[in-house]
Homo-oligomer: A and B are copies of this chain.
Amino acid sequence: MKAQLGTDEGKHKFVLKTPKGTRDFGPKEMAIRERAFKAIISCFKRHGAEVIDTPVFELKETLTGKYGEDSKLIYDLKDQGGELLSLRYDLTVPFARYLAMNKITNIKRYHIAKVYRRDNPAMTRGRYREFYQCDFDIAGQFDPMIPDAECLKIVHEILSDLQLGDFVIKVNDRRILDGMFAVCGVPDSKFRTICSSVDKLDKVPWEEVRSEMVGEKGLSPEAADRIGEYVQLHGGLDLIEQLLQDPKLSQNKVAKEGLGDMKLLFEYLTLFGITGKISFDLSLARGLDYYTGVIFEAVLLQQENEHVEEPLSVGSVAGGGRYDGLVGMFDAKGRKVPCVGVSIGIERIFSILEQRLEASEEKVRTTETQVLVASAQKKLLEERLKLISELWDAGIKAEMLYRKNPKLLNQLQYCEETGIPLVAIVGEQELKDGVVKLRIVATREEVNVRRESLVEEIRIRTSQC
């Protein structure tokens, strides 16, 4: 029979690993992950979002031409006959496809799912090839900057709620960037590629970015230097006002539009009381092709784990922006649906929460079991099965050891290890008396409870846990 199963023949050596850039989540990691998801989902619901889900792969052509230079990182499926498919690279393009396909012009939805990028993984810093995105988007034709402001409010709420330490949300606008490129003398055809270079400024110094612009991308040194002056600017309403007076920028139509909207955005953010954490930053570019207006990115300012020798750069934990043209790319008549959205980069947040938990030595329970059904003597398996079945049917979370005659000590030990707070012990005498002995693990106290009151007693005693 073994031979038939192919188990032992050949003694094939398996490589026991998950694919490069991916990982398993064990029970402890899942407990942390679910805690973070809960905070994020409750924020999305607080803002009235519906939820949708889309397939993990899309037709390859659905993703084509949406990600600029990053398209090379898309995972394709093998051609096994039939359609050509790719794994989704983000949740935004599938969302736009969903809107166009169903002719939806108005929705506020969240979507939490895994996306796939054939990037160089840096797993200790929470960068994976398979990772979760938590997206919230508002689609529809609305008055300017109201949905945009709400997206920033959401980032602020989630990062505050998760207590990840101090953070700043950098904000810019593609129109301001495009206007800036124009007045600096960048030719139209180079806007996107120069934008990709600017996008690297959070990781590499200006000199390197400049040499990429001039060397690889053929920009004139003068234009690069003009860009260099702008991209070091960051501030608040004052900077917006200053740039609205800037002799060159103020003459550029799209830049002026972008600056006007940025001013409006800051007014709304003031009403939300969150401008303290917002920085208008001309170096923020964001790589993806589809953004058309406001863009933003939240960055953690310091590592919580201060005893780590080299402070770990966790970088961006959320980002997003406005993409008014993307849905139209899927519509035969090019009908546009303006959209703005935010994506929470949850893997980096997991890394931080995991490190913190490890440092704190807090014990995380990975089950919710309320009671272990145990026996003090042998030959009571049938009685344990009967009792646990009653408890399950009453909605009590209960476990038992899968042994005919487990030792009481082993049963108590199991509770200690897994954090089960109560033990319901059946024994000959108790069965005769119609009671169950209920033991409180923490205090070692034991009380006899009448069988018909057991469910109620367990509920009361675990309601505070």
Q: Which one of A15-23, A219-227, A341-349 is at the interface?
A: A15-23
Q: A22-B55, A52-B24, A143-B402 are in contact. Are A271 and B389 (CB under 8 A)?
A: yes
Q: A168 to chain B: which residues have CB within 8 Å?
A: none
Q: A361 to chain B: which residues have CB within 8 Å?
A: none
Q: A24 to chain B: which residues have CB within 8 Å?
A: 52-55, 98, 101-102
A382 at the interface (CB under 8 A from B): yes
Query: Could you say which of B55, B153, B392 contacts A392, with CB atoms under 8 Å apart?
Result: B153
The CA-CA distance from A1 to B54 in the complex, in Å, is: 30
Query: Could you say which of B83, B290, B332 contacts A19, with CB atoms under 8 Å apart?
Result: B83
Q: Are the CB atoms of A334 and B7 closer together than 8 Å?
A: yes
Number of interface residues of A (CB under 8 A): 113
Q: Are the CB atoms of A7 and B329 closer together than 8 Å?
A: yes
Q: Which of A6, A75, A79, A273 has the most CB of B within 10 A?
A: A6
**What distance in Å separates the Cβ of A42 from its nearest Cβ neighbour in chain B?**
8
The CA-CA distance from A17 to B386 in the complex, in Å, is: 52
A30 at the interface (CB under 8 A from B): yes
Q: Are the CB atoms of B46 and A398 closer together than 8 Å?
A: yes
The CA-CA distance from A85 to B18 in the complex, in Å, is: 10
**What distance in Å separates the Cβ of A216 from its nearest Cβ neighbour in chain B?**
19
Q: A13-B332, A19-B57, A392-B157 are in contact. Are A50 and B27 (CB under 8 A)?
A: yes
Q: Which residues of A contact B (CB under 8 A)?
A: 1-2, 4-8, 12-20, 22-27, 30, 33-34, 45-59, 61-62, 65, 75-80, 82-83, 85, 87, 97-98, 100-102, 107-109, 114, 116, 118, 130, 138, 140, 142-143, 146-147, 149-150, 153, 157, 178, 188-189, 191-192, 254, 268, 271-273, 289-290, 292, 325, 328-330, 332, 334, 366-369, 381-382, 385-386, 389, 392-393, 395-399, 402-404
